[in-house]
């Protein structure tokens, strides 16, 4: 093909290629400096027992052996899994329900859409501080509402039994706006002729949703589940602000456990091994989700 081009055309192709690489160079540099380089540094640190100040003892795979036998690490992984199982399905279901309702011709749809999305784009620290007051067991809004309707109040973040459910409640409230927007975009792309054909065949609203709408938006559902799962396993900010891992480590997730090891106890080498372990867990779960549910995704 290149042999059929004139010298001027070949020079133009070279100029276009150079221009393309120059345009992408800033993004490539950002990825190299802030993603790949830190990842390589973490892998290197995981082979040392170091506090990044003066101690730098090579231990090889010692940090990983400690990781595999650490009850604290596996305990944090179990609590992270509990949070993920408790938050992801609920957030996806509520987001889909809201999207279906907003997809109808309702008054103020733009206002409601904005109302659900604003918490997601608001910084986690700011909303977490607000929810500290909402969860307050003595004068918090949530207990006041429960008392008003005659339901028993809770200690929320100060009780080991209710602390993690409270975290799930807050995270669901904060994150559903993202999925609502994704689902609304997917619902708008469902062919109206398919919905009309289902109605002509006498399908009820539920059967139309289950057999037509749901398969058509399955790629978006798959995407949201993957993103929510990864985000749940990386949860840190809300734990740091709301509970600091308490009470009695009831909300110490793997992300917060990593922070404690690195910046609390200055075990940066072991913290590097924890981060790699967290990456492996997320990767395996993602591959499992892809294998189990990926085949059921309908791409049209």
- CA–chain centroid gap for 107, Å, is 31
What are the distances in angstroms from CA 262 to CA 266, 268, 275? 5, 5, 10
Per-residue pLDDT tens, the chain, 300 aa: give them. 556 778 788 888 888 888 888 999 999 999 999 999 999 999 999 999 998 888 889 999 999 999 999 999 999 999 999 999 999 999 999 999 999 888 877 777 778 888 888 999 999 999 999 999 999 998 999 999 999 999 899 999 999 999 999 999 999 999 999 999 999 989 888 888 887 788 777 777 788 888 788 888 888 999 999 999 999 999 999 999 999 999 999 999 999 999 999 999 999 999 999 999 999 999 999 888 888 876 777 665
- Entry pTM: 0.87
To the nearest 10 degrees (0 to 180), the angle between helices 163-188 and 124-134 is 130
Is residue 185 within 8 A of residue 96, CB to CB? The reply is no
């Amino acid at each position: 093909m290149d042999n059929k081009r004139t010298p001027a055309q070949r020079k133009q192709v070279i100029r276009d290629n150079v221009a393309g690489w120059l345009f992408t160079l800033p993004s490539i540099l950002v990825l190299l400096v802030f993603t790949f380089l830190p990842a390589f540094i973490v892998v290197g640190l995981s082979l040392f027992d170091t506090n990044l100040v003066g101690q730098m003892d090579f231990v090889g795979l010692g940090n990983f052996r400690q990781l595999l036998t650490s009850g604290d690490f596996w305990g944090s992984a179990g609590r992270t899994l509990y949070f993920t199982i408790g938050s992801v399905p609920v957030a996806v279901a509520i987001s889909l329900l809201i999207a279906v309702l907003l997809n109808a011709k309702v008054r103020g749809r733009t206002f409601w859409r904005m109302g659900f999305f604003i918490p997601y784009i608001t910084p986690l620290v700011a909303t977490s501080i607000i929810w500290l007051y909402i969860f307050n067991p003595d004068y918090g809004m949530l207990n006041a509402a429960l008392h008003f309707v005659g339901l028993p109040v809770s200690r929320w973040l100060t009780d080991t039994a209710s602390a993690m459910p409270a975290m799930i409640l807050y995270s669901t409230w904060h994150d559903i706006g993202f999925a609502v927007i994704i689902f609304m975009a997917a619902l708008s792309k469902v062919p109206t002729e398919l919905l009309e054909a289902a109605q002509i065949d006498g399908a009820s609203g539920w059967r139309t949703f289950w057999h037509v709408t749901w398969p058509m938006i399955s790629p978006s559902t798959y995407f949201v589940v993957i993103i929510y799962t990864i985000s749940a396993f990386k949860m840190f900010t809300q734990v740091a602000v709301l509970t600091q891992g308490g009470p009695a480590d009831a909300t110490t997730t793997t992300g917060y456990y990593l922070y404690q090891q690195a910046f609390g106890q200055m075990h940066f080498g072991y913290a590097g091994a924890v981060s790699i372990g967290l990456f492996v867990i997320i990767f395996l779960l993602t591959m499992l989700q892809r294998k189990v549910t990926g085949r059921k995704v309908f791409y049209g």
